[in-house]
Homo-oligomer: A and B are copies of this chain.
Amino acid sequence: MSSTFGTIFTVTTFGESHCYGVGAVVDGCPPRLALTEADIQPQLTRRRPGQTAIATPRKEDDQVSILSGTEHGMTLGTPIGLLVKNKDQRPGDYKEMAQVPRPSHADYTYQMKYGVRASSGGGRSSARETIGRVAAGAIAEKFLRETYGVDIVAWVSAVGDITARDLSGEALTREMIDQTMIRCPDPDVAGRMEERIMEARESGDSMGGVVTCVCRNLPAGWGEPVFDKMEAKLAQAMMSLPATKGFEIGSGFSGTTMRGSDHNDMFIQRDDRLGTATNRSGGIQGGISNGEPVLFRIAFKPPATISKLQKTVDFSGHPVELEAAGRHDPCVVNRAIPIVESMAALVLADFAVRQRARTGT
């Protein structure tokens, strides 16, 4: 069940880098939602590698097919099968991995866990697994947008030590985010971020970064105490993504240095509901949305695959020098944008229907 996420609105993903294909089954999507491949493809295309100078030159078509669950362009309420074929399967590139576990990759741990591992690529720890999540997330997102007006936008807020200014309060759109390759909507730093990544690539190295995501127009009342608090499920969702090392909601770690009197979000009257004057809570109190924007940040480490020479040991413990051949991204944060948005949508869609189970709305 560890490839299944959600309680009612659920996704089950399948597929490795070099098998027939990758995909997902979405169960529990409400019926009568207009849905065709055209609703899903854009986010997959945003996720696709080989689009920009700063990403891997692998070319992957990543065209999604809906296998089941819709008819006449509308969901039936039954499981929606989703499939993207694997086209670019060059297992030869990965031969050395048979003997040498790549540092900070999952080769060693998969071998220890399963007693076997995919001979090429990272198996289920590969970024390619996220295709199923993105396809499923696009459906969740459409449901949320059409039913509740929820709007989810993520962007790159840091690459290495280059940090964008705080944009969480602005009316960002995906179009604005996509205007730069790096998907950072702060024009003062986007260019420098890209340069830094190009430098890393040239030196055979890689860069980490931070993604910020905001979810707007949620009603108050979503999120399920106590183990399925909204921030808890968002944290699980984000920390289940490859290469993530940290998660913050609202004020995050920097909130730990504040006094309660500075940190507390005072209530104010806003239109026909209560709002808060500040949003250090990140839109969530007691695990439940309060109607303010849900705001979180995710730390992505520098990708483990580098072409710089690495001194490590093989599976037998013998010292070896490893130099990665093959294709790889020097930084993953810009491609992570649609993945983060998709996981956020999957978390929220499940909360939406769980709350509806309780109150009927």
Contacts and interface: CB of A to CB of B under 8 A. Distances in A.
Interface stretch (A168-176, A181-189, A257-265): A257-265
Q: What is the interface residue range for chain A against chain B?
A: 35 or more
Interface string A121-134: 01111000100000
Contact of A101 (B4, B257, B274): B274
Interface in A279-314: 280-282, 284-291, 299-306, 308, 310-313
B20 A65 contact: yes
Contacts of A222: 113
Interface in A303-361: 303-306, 308, 310-313, 315, 317, 353-361
Contact of A246 (B13, B72, B209, B253): B253
Given A14-B69, A109-B289, 15 more contacts: A1-B4, A4-B4, A19-B70, A104-B264, A113-B223, A114-B358, A206-B261, A231-B244, A235-B239, A245-B249, A248-B253, A256-B302, A259-B302, A260-B301, A267-B312
A238 B233 CA distance: 11
Nearest to A10: B1
17 contacts: A1-B10, A3-B79, A4-B227, A13-B79, A14-B27, A14-B79, A20-B67, A21-B81, A32-B116, A76-B116, A103-B264, A109-B285, A227-B236, A245-B255, A255-B301, A260-B304, A267-B312
B247 A109 contact: no
Interface in A96-114: 101, 103-106, 108-110, 112-114
Given A246-B252, A247-B239, A255-B299, A78 B225 contact: yes
A66 B206 CA distance: 35
Contact of A71 (B118, B223, B317): B118
Contacts of A167: none
B20 A68 contact: yes
Contact of A288 (B12, B106, B259, B269): B106
Residue among A13, A118, A285, A310 having the largest count of chain B Cβ atoms under 10 Å: A285
